[in-house]
């Protein structure tokens, strides 16, 4: 029994007493969260940016409360020091709360309050759990509610994670652009509706991929700005009950100074407390990126189809044997996994929208699922883009002679004849070439519509790649 007592300490809350591991910095409410929520297998500690974000929020609150006289300087200093240790990467394993939970995030908030309080107690020379000297509720959570501290931490965590996401996106863009430069002289057939269209270069195609994704850097930037409006000081429903005068402004200022971000206090705290509009907008930006990325992966898979019975325009780096029954088959596994990540992000966006709509009166209690979806989408997209760049895009090669032959044998290049002989005559040539198997040049010469010299110049694929002057 004595040995058991050393392994645990007893803490109490509204529901009664509960054993907490003696070595844990978290306390009774975190332990109840552990016991209650074993849902997703995704823990708060799996997202270091989230743990760091809430530590910044708690530090800013402690500094503001000390300034307004709501916290004794010694206690505020110990809380701030505890937060700084967490920000530096310590004690993250003491944040075991499942990301999926009821209670509108209270378990997350109390997990942070308890860890910070117990570490502050140690720094002041007291035992863990001796909350008379530094309480999770009375001191660490002073002037706060889950309903302002939790969403503020979520917003800052997303801001941090977005920087990592954008860095990966920019690296992928650079890889596509480098491939575009490498393939700038490789002529291929462009296609619309999977049918031959007009010639282009592989370089133009890969540069288009890069430019298409470049737009998303700005779009993510526009939407992440919305997350800088916070409701710290609003406490439970936005009225500011239990927060000292001046605290809200000071807390916002301290958070801005500590993080280097330009946070703004919401102009209407009652409006801001249940509002999840910024999450909806940012989730939509993630979805837009996912849609574009998935389309590009579709194109890579199509262009790599074959090797003998498909388009066979490009070769993707072989990453794994492709079949348990078909020897020699190599599948486009990297674009495939990227596609699936994109589908997940699109689905997560739907969940975010439903959860945002489910808010009632002065609070949206569905923020945990919004948070889990957004964190998952950011993380999966970041990893997928890194994987696509490293294991696919950088190693792509092109079958240049094959793509040029496809252009020369295509009916699509008849479009280049339109300015010289008209759409109707060009249609007749295309139709006869398809029916007889003859080349466009042969048919045009037989009909004496153009000379061979004219046809050689007009049907030179390199003359079809950009705007140019022509003479009828």
276-326 confidence digits (pLDDT tens) = 999 999 999 999 999 999 999 999 999 999 988 999 999 999 887 777 677
Tally the C-alpha atoms within 13 A of residue 217's C-alpha that lie toward its C-beta. Answer: 15
Stretch 131-156: mean pLDDT: 97
Q: Find which of 276-280, 328-332, 429-433 is predicted with most confidence, using mean pLDDT.
A: 276-280
| 463 and 469 Cβ atoms separated by less than 8 Å | no
CB atoms within 10 A of CB 18: 17
The gap from C-alpha 141 to its chain's centroid, in whole angstroms, comes to 31
- More confident position, 83 or 422: 83
Pairing outcome for strands 264-265 and 229-230: parallel
Mean per-residue pLDDT, 79-106: 96
Task: Write the DSSP symbol of residue 93.
Answer: G
Angle between helix 48-67 and helix 106-123 axes, rounded to 10 deg: 70
Domains of the chain as residue ranges with CATH:
2-142 (1.10.275.10), 149-233+267-401 (1.20.200.10), 411-464 (1.10.40.30)
Tokens encoding 43 = 């823990």
Instruction: Identify the pLDDT of residue 13.
Output: 86
Whole-number percent of the chain with pLDDT over 90: 78
What pLDDT does residue 304 have? Answer: 96
> If you average pLDDT over every residue of the chain, what do you get?
93
Contact present, 263 and 302 (Cβ < 8 Å): no
Q: What is the mean pLDDT of residues 46-75?
A: 98
Select which of 323, 377, 401, 426 is catalytic: 323
Q: What is the mean pLDDT of residues 463-469?
A: 72
Is residue 461 scored above 80 in pLDDT?
A: no
What is the reported pLDDT for 1? 44
Strand 187-192 and strand 314-315: the pairing is unpaired
φ/ψ (deg, to 5) at 315: -120, 125
CA distance 172 to 60: 36
- 470/315 Cα distance (integer angstroms): 36
> Do strands 314-315 and 229-230 pair parallel, antiparallel, or not at all (unpaired)?
unpaired
> What's the rounded Cα separation, in Å, for the pair 120 and 215?
46
Residue 355 tokens, joined: 């959860």
In sequence order, the β-bridge partners of residue 191 are 196
Instruction: Report residue 471's pLDDT band, with 50, 70 and 90 as the boundaries.
Output: low
Q: What is the rounded average pLDDT of the residues 456-463?
A: 77
- pLDDT on residue 4: 52
Flag whether pLDDT at 219 surpasses 90.
yes
Region 366-383 average pLDDT? 98
Q: H-helix or E-strand containing 212?
A: helix 202-224
C-beta separation of 136 from 117 below 8 A: yes
Q: How far apart are the first and last CA of the chain?
A: 101
Instruction: State residue 402's pLDDT score.
Output: 95
| Alpha carbon distance 442, 446 (integer Å) | 6
Q: Is 142 left (phi over 0), alpha (psi -120 to 50) or beta?
A: beta
Token couple for 267: 């102009």
For residue 132, pLDDT over 60 is answered with yes
Half-sphere exposure of 112 (CA within 13 A, CB side): 33
Lowest mean pLDDT among 100-104, 288-292, 437-441: 437-441
Q: Look up the pTM and report it.
A: 0.93
Q: Within a 13 Å sphere around the CA of 152, how many CA atoms are in the beta-carbon half?
A: 34
Look at residue 275 and tell me whether its pLDDT is greater than 50: yes
> What pLDDT is stored for residue 455 in this prediction?
77
Specify whether 323 is catalytic. yes
Copy the structure tokens of residue 316. Answer: 């993707």
Q: How far apart are CA 166 and CA 160, in angstroms?
A: 10
Is the distance from CB of 337 to CB of 391 less than 8 angstroms?
Answer: no
């Amino acid at each position: 029994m004595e040995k058991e007592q050393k392994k645990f300490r007893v803490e109490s809350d509204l529901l009664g007493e509960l054993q907490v591991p003696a070595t844990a910095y978290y306390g009774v409410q975190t332990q109840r969260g552990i016991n209650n929520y074993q849902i997703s297998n995704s823990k708060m500690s799996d997202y270091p940016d989230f743990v760091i974000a809430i530590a910044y929020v708690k530090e800013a609150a402690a500094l503001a409360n000390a300034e307004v006289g709501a916290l004794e300087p010694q206690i505020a200093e110990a809380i701030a020091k505890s937060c700084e240790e967490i920000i530096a990467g310590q004690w993250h394993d003491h944040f075991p709360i499942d990301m999926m939970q009821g209670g509108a995030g209270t378990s997350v908030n109390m997990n942070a309050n308890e860890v910070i309080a117990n570490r502050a107690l140690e720094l002041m020379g007291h035992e863990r759990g001796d909350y008379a000297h530094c309480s999770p509720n009375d001191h660490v959570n002073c002037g706060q509610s889950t309903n302002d501290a939790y969403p503020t931490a979520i917003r800052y965590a997303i801001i941090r994670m977005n920087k990592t996401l954008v860095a990966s996106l920019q690296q992928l863009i650079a890889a596509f652009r480098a491939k575009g430069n490498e393939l700038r002289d490789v002529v291929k057939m462009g296609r619309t509706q999977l049918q031959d269209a007009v010639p282009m270069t592989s370089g133009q195609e890969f540069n288009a991929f890069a430019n298409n994704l470049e737009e998303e850097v700005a779009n993510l930037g526009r939407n992440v700005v919305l997350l800088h409006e916070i409701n710290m000081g609003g406490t439970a429903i936005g009225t500011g009950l239990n927060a000292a005068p001046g605290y809200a402004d000071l807390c916002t200022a301290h958070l801005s100074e500590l993080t280097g971000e330009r946070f703004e206090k919401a102009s209407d705290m009652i409006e801001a407390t249940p509002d999840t509009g910024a999450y909806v907008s940012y989730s939509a930006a993630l979805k837009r990126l996912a849609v574009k990325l998935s389309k590009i992966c579709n194109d890579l898979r199509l262009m790599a189809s074959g090797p003998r019975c498909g388009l066979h325009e490009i070769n993707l780096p072989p990453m794994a044997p492709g079949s348990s029954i078909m020897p020699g088959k190599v599948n486009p596994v990297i674009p495939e996994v990227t596609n699936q990540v994109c589908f997940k992000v699109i689905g997560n966006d739907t969940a975010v929208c439903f959860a945002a709509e489910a808010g009632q009166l002065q609070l949206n209690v569905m923020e945990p699922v919004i948070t889990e979806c957004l964190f998952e989408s950011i993380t999966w997209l970041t990893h997928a883009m890194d994987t696509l760049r490293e294991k696919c895009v950088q190693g792509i090669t092109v079958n240049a002679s094959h793509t040029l032959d496809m252009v020369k044998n295509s009916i699509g290049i008849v479009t280049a004849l339109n300015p010289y002989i008209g759409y109707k005559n060009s249609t007749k040539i295309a139709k006869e070439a398809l029916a007889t198997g003859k080349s466009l040049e042969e048919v045009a010469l037989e009909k004496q519509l153009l000379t061979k010299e004219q046809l050689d110049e007009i049907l030179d694929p390199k003359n079809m790649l950009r705007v140019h002057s022509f003479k009828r």
